Structure 1
Amino acid sequence: MTRDILYVDDEETNLIVFESAFEDDFNIRTATNAAEALEILDEHPIPVVVADQRMPEMTGVEMFAILRQKYPHTQRVILTGYADSEAIIDAINEGQVYQYVRKPWQRIELLAVLRRALQAHDLSLQNSVLTDRLLVSERSAMLGQATARIAHEMSNQLNVLPLLEVIEDDYAADEQLAQLAEIARSTYERLNELVAEVKDFMRFDTRAFDRQPLNLAECVQELVSFLRFHRSVPHERLSVKMAGAPVVNGNKLKLHQVMLNLVQNAADAIDETDDGMIELTLGQLPDQAVISVADNGCGMPADLLERIWEPFFTTKGTNGNGMGLDITRQLVESHDGTIECSSTPGEGARFTIYLPLSDEQEITGDCTETSQATHSFR
């Protein structure tokens, strides 16, 4: 691939000569002044910039001082006469210039400088990536230690099962209280499973979770009942539609975790949208179950959409840790499924999960279409 080089000089003749000398080796861009060069760099990342030192309004070194702050990986080469040598040496010492070349320059000499500058640019980027990975590793280690302590404390606090048994035994006739106790028991089991998962992870245990034939319609209905008491999800903005009751080989708690995370993300996306809605849909193809969670919230541009599955990448700032979608993807894939996302800025996003059907397609429970919304999803 031909690499980009930007040459800045206020003399048109010099621009023509430079472009003619190196057009077979690089993709040459030119600018006649510093302001024009900065505009080009704002629109296109350029690995190496070559500039004449003596230019009106702003010298090459002064321009490079700006470039060093805005584009630290871009390598900066200055062309200068003998009279400018002292100023250029000072600029090199201050890190504003990668190298300077005296006029009149020779093609072979300058070509070697440009190739080394490109190598220096690539090395700078690689070092930056390695530094970022090191920081992520350190953050992961600290997060792991904190998570282990939190899991231990949560385990100590989850000793509520005897209380639930008392409610179920002594107040069985109270239908509403019995329903709340059932939801509390389901939540207790879910939290216990998550705590065990964290502890296994800290021990580097790769224990596979159990899977069995699971009616997804019943699974979705249980999640909806749980969401009624989940304050992070606006229940009145949630629409649930089910067509059929596909059966998959799955783990109910893990699939609840997947759907809950997607619904919570959708709730965050519509938080500042007056008519924001979330649509949870269950459908069935000939050999796959299909679960989708869609919203009409803020949406995501293409560059962010490509990165949402990366560990620790988040669009929520300090309100997110960037682990949710990575874990969601892993859980879906552990069910031999796939997950994909489509999104348009300002129009919302849709996450779609495909899970292979179980051989046991025995339909149980009510699979009629239901809606938990007060108005239709748009």
Structure 2
Amino acid sequence: MPTIRVLYIDDEENNLNAFKAGFRRQYEIYTAISASEGLKILQNVALHVIIADQKMPQTTGVEFFKSIAKTHPDPVRILLTGYTDIEALADAINHGDIYRYITKPWNDLELHNSIKNAYDAYKAKIDLREKITELEKTNDELNRFIYSISHELRAPLVSAMGVINVVKMEGLYDSCGEYWSLIETCANKLDYYIQKTLQYYKNNKIASENTPVNFEKLIPELINLYSYTDKDTHFHVDIKQDREFYGDAFRIEVILGNLISNAIKYQKEDEKDKKVNIIIEVKNHAAEIIISDNGMGILNEHLEKIFTQFFKIKTNHGTGLGLFIVKEALNKINGKIAVSSDLSEGTAFKITIPDGK
């Protein structure tokens, strides 16, 4: 067991000698006959536990502990009191100025156990601080990693996708069989994974901030952003917003963007009339949104799993991240989502987002 360093402050020398005699073999003992002497020791020795008598001239034990709370927060503080001062004790305990108090004359076993418990509290405090430091370091490393993904990794990927577009413009796309198509598919999938990783990271990092949300402006922007992959899908949009709605614009875009993207992505390849319906009604306390499609649908046995990270139905579509991110984002803004699906008719998601006003 490591040596526990204990400082005892008391204006009665007999008490100091008695304490030293009783505990010198168990702890590394320091004694001081006044608060000012105790402070000098505290400034030069890394102490674990400080014991102070309450009734001392000039400075009481509680006053001393309060005076060192900010400058020396780590040592755990025990108060010895020979008289009842309930108000001072209650105030000291409530403000965290003392860990425990013991009445005088002390019982050796009680004081010994108190010192051991106080040291355990000291160690827990230090261990927690070290863990926080480690987490902060890990968080900084994660920030740098995400920056690398969003910039250094995506830059060459965008360049590769640019080359593919040049190949298309020059009419060489089909000149090598399916090779260019395979490269484009892999590049798009990698880009999609990068984008979803960034969405998930930002959703967990960014604090929620409510600002005005104009659905009549937002929905067309999201449709234009995601419909480039399939120009054959027709959108029917019905938005009723006659009042101001406040919400987390970033997360609302993430939620609606992923759902619109999925509605396009999971269309039936042989469907001649691909449709996506978006209905939004802004009410007094919430926005109710329904996004439905006539796509391939979802099996009933999969409906409870689709919001699970990396869950994929047996198709070549998706990554298993989109709906997981949607659920995570809704949790951040206290939103709700429900889904119904039929293999012959398609899928409908109903979202409720509370007004953040």
TM range (shorter): 0.3 to 0.5
Question: Which has the higher Rg, Structure 1 or Structure 2?
Answer: 2
TM-score, structure 2 normalization: 0.43
Q: Give the TM-score, by structure 1 length.
A: 0.41
